[in-house]
Structure 1
């Protein structure tokens, strides 16, 4: 439906449940995960990404940015 409307990209920002459901259904092409050096001992855990989808990592100002690409879906 989106492609027919000439929409080629969709940015989804959501909570764990929404993001995990998209990951589990293989409805994603790539993901960028920000990991701070500051450890929190409370809160909601992030969605689980498959390590085989890991693509690269970059660091900016003590923050790690993990880039994942989906090898099975979409």
Structure 2
């Protein structure tokens, strides 16, 4: 994502000044990736219940509402 949309990397203060090549071995990136994958796992597990799946994704989006630079179109 950061290679195709470098501006997105700047939205993450912990990744902002880290070269993309170094992110593959970054402990902070691994922690964030695990959180993202956990949300996807939860959503996929609930895929038979559209309302529940949407709520899972909305919850993840709400977590980013206060983050400067994030916008709703980044999630859909």
TM-score interval, smaller chain: under 0.3
Pick 1 or 2: higher relative contact order, CA cutoff 8 A, min separation 6. Answer: 1
If the length of structure 1 is used for normalisation, what is the TM-score? 0.24
Greater strand fraction, Structure 1 or Structure 2? 1
